[in-house]
Amino acid sequence: MGKVIAITNQKGGVGKTTTSINLAASLAKTRRRVMLIDNDPQGNATMGSGVNKQANRVTTYEVLIGLEPIEAARVPVEGGYDLVPANSQLSGAEVELIEIERRERRLRDALENVRAQYDYILIDCPPALNLLTVNALVAAQSVIIPMQCEYYALEGLTALLNTIRKIRDTLNPQLEIEGLLRTMYDPRNNLDNEVSAQLKQHFGDKLYRTVIPRNIRLAEAPSHGKPVIAYDMQSKGAQAYLALAGEMLRRGEEVVAA
């Protein structure tokens, strides 16, 4: 059964989508079968995977509302994974879901039939703790939290950790933190180092040792509709996401062995 991982942080611009696309592609590169679900009405993971979000296609919206099965929405992309695309229509799902039964479990239910076909199913979340994010947290076994090492980073985490706790107490008792990921990291910046040390103290082993540096190639790749490993394999950004996939896989194996 594939492991479902939500990539989430209610803050915008912290690298959720960049991590979703590039971790999906890096895991696919190691021959894992990967699905990436774009669960953000901005559709950035869709465009960044090389799929036109305006085109008339089945998206996460139809899947959540129950108009189409997820098999009808997925498309194979150049990055080597299957993408379930999204566009601005998805913002309507928030309101429509309120009227629907099992509204927090729509994504979990939708994944039931395809989970066995993948090793990893990643969900790129919107920058909000809304019903779309709740659907991701209920569908997931674990969460990856990308974050920038800013002054208020830890404060911002409190709301997210409370939400995760609440979901664990009610709708999804098995939900775990897969890992915290430092993004756009600059080791020459004192603040990055200070916040980093605090994160290590609070989260211990949950903090990935791999850090994602600020790298222009990572910012350029989406405009070419490609993950960075297909755009510039030698770049620091590409190497960092490949290393992250390696660290994640190793950790998973250690847990299984233990």
CB under 8 Å to 21, separation ≥6 — which residues? Answer: 36, 45, 48, 49, 79, 124, 221, 222, 227
Q: Rounded to the nearest whole angstrom, what is the least distance from the CB of residue 170 to Mg ion in the complex? A: 26
Partner in contact with 212, chosen from ligand ADP, Mg ion, none, beta carbon below 5 to 8 Å by kind: ligand ADP
Cα separation, 63 vs 196, in Å, equals 38
Which residue in 1, 12, 96, 162 binds ligand ADP (CB under 6 A)? Answer: 12
Cα separation, 197 vs 153, in Å, equals 12
Which residue in 66, 69, 127, 246 binds ligand ADP (CB under 6 A)? Answer: 127
What tokens were used for 122? 């990643």
Q: Is 16 in the site for Mg ion (CB under 5 A)?
A: yes
22's enclosing H/E stretch is helix 16-29
Which residue in 44, 183, 196, 215 binds Mg ion (CB under 5 A)? Answer: 44
Partner in contact with 196, chosen from ligand ADP, Mg ion, none, beta carbon below 5 to 8 Å by kind: none
What tokens were used for 219? 């910012």
Q: Is 219 in the site for ligand ADP (CB under 6 A)?
A: yes
> Whose structure tokens read 């939900």?
175
Q: Rounded to the nearest whole angstrom, what is the least distance from the CB of residue 183 to ligand ADP in the complex? A: 5
Which parts of this chain interact with Mg ion (CB under 5 A)? 16-17, 44
